[in-house]
Structures are given as C-alpha cells and as structure tokens.
C-alpha cells in the first residue's frame, strides 16, 4: 500500500514539525551533494531553521558561489544603466577639470603671469578687475583704520573719565595737590631753621686719649737720607711711633 499524498501546510504539532524538518533537511542536503557529484554542478545550499540555526552546503564554497551569483545576476538593462551612469560621472569629472584649469589660468593672469596669449580686450577686462579689486582693498583698509581710530578715541575718553573720577576722589578726601606742595615747602623751611647751630668740625685724632703704636722703617730711611745724625734720627723715629 503506498503512502498517501501529504497536504502542504504548516504542521501544528511542534514535535512532528521538528522531526519533519530534520528528515527533509538531511534529504535536501543529500540531494544537493548527489547533484554536485553526478552532474559536476556548482551547488550552494543555505538553510535557517525556525530557531535561527544555520545549515549550509557548497561543493566549491558558499562565498565563491554567492560572488558568482552576484556577477551573473545583472540584466542587460542594469549593465546599460551602469554604463550610462559611468558616462555621466566621466562627463562631470571632465567639466570640473576644465573649470579647475580655467580658474588656475585666471589666477595666473591676476598675478601678472602668462599674459602673452591675451588680446587687447582681455587685457582691458583684466585691468578693470584689478582696479576693482584694488579699490575694494583700499576701501576695506580705510574702514579698518577708521574702526581702530574710533576704538582709540573710546579708550581715550574712558581713561579721561577715570582720571576725572580719581581727581574728584582725591579732592573729596582732602588731598589736594596744591595743599600738599605748600605743606611740603613749609615743612622743609621749618626743618632748616630748627637747628641753626652747627657743631664745629674737629679732627678725630684730637679725641684719641690712648697711645697708638706705629711700627715701620719709612721715617728711618728718610732720616738716613737727610743730614741729621743717626742717633737723633732713631730717637725721632721712636718718638713719632707714639702719637698722642
């Protein structure tokens, strides 16, 4: 008796569903292996269970087969679209390159370089551009100088206000400059007349009460050079050694 036809729908029983998945999965993997061996075909099989578990088979490698599939999945329309897009990008790059070269050439002209290929009209336009740029630069310089002058004037007014405030503060506290000068002059005059008597200047040697011994041969040598006898010279040197 043959097996009856199985209705294709989700198996409600969890255990039966798991058993059916295991059997049919193994059969599918076996059929993929047999197909790759018998027919020399490149087969790749990927299975995910309901729990997220991965089962795979690839006779030459899953990654290699997927890359080959991506290369072969492009249709002629996709290839044409890619070619058109590439051509559009190439044209855009060409436009940007031409614009860049034009800007570089204009910059050289503004710097006074590579002026040979220019005609009279182009040179006149270049002259007008330079004059306009020079006028704008001078206008900006004048504006900056005016702003700096205004800032300096503002600081001057601020410092003047601070000076006035300090002067008012000093006058309110009674420290007037003229009063201080008069007070200083009167104090100096009083200091000069307070001690009119000046002590006489005396020689410090007059207050020495103790003898001072001086030992040396300078006076003795001078005495020998003179006409005084040696005995008187020795006595003179000895007496001069003691200074009262």
| Residue pLDDT, tens place only, 195-235 | 444 444 445 444 445 554 455 444 444 444 445 454 454 44
Q: CB neighbours (10 Å) of residue 44?
A: 19
User: Residue 43: pLDDT above 90?
Assistant: yes
Q: Please report the pLDDT score of residue 158 as a whole number.
A: 93
Calpha distance 237→244 (Å, rounded): 15
Bridge pairing between strands 242-243 and 212-213: antiparallel
Calpha distance 24→186 (Å, rounded): 127
Calpha distance 188→117 (Å, rounded): 89
More confident call, 208 vs 95: 95
Coil, helix or strand at residue 44: strand
Determine the distance from the C-alpha atom of residue 225 to the mean position of all C-alpha atoms in its chain, rounded to a whole number.
87
84-88's contacts with Cβ under 8 Å and 24+ in sequence apart are none
Q: CB neighbours (10 Å) of residue 21?
A: 15
Strand (E) or helix (H) holding 140: helix 120-172
| Residue pLDDT, tens place only, 48-75 | 998 889 999 998 888 888 888 887 876 6
> Could you tell me which residues come within 8 angstroms of residue 213 by beta carbon, excluding any fewer than 6 positions away?
241, 242
């Amino acid at each position: 008796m043959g097996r009856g036809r199985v209705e294709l729908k989700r198996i409600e029983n969890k255990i039966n569903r798991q058993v059916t998945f295991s059997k049919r999965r193994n059969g599918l993997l076996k059929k993929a292996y047999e197909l790759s061996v018998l027919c020399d075909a490149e087969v790749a099989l990927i299975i995910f269970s309901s729990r997220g578990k991965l089962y795979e088979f690839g006779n030459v490698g899953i990654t290699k087969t997927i890359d080959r599939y991506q290369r072969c999945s492009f249709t002629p329309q996709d290839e044409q679209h890619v070619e058109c897009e590439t051509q559009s990008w190439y044209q855009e790059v060409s436009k940007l390159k031409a614009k860049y070269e034009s800007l570089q050439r204009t910059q050289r002209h503004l710097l006074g370089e590579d002026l040979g290929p220019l005609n009279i009209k182009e040179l006149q336009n270049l002259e007008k551009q330079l004059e306009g740029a020079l006028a704008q630069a001078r206008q900006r310089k004048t504006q900056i100088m005016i702003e700096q002058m205004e800032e300096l004037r503002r600081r001057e007014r601020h410092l003047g206000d601070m000076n006035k405030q300090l002067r008012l503060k000093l006058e309110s506290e009674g420290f007037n400059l003229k009063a201080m000068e008069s007070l200083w002059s009167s104090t100096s005059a009083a200091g000069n007349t307070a001690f009119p008597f000046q002590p006489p200047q005396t020689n410090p040697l007059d207050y020495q009460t103790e003898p001072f011994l001086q030992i040396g041969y300078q006076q003795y040598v001078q005495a020998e050079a003179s006409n005084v006898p040696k005995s008187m010279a020795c006595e003179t040197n000895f007496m001069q050694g003691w200074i009262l």
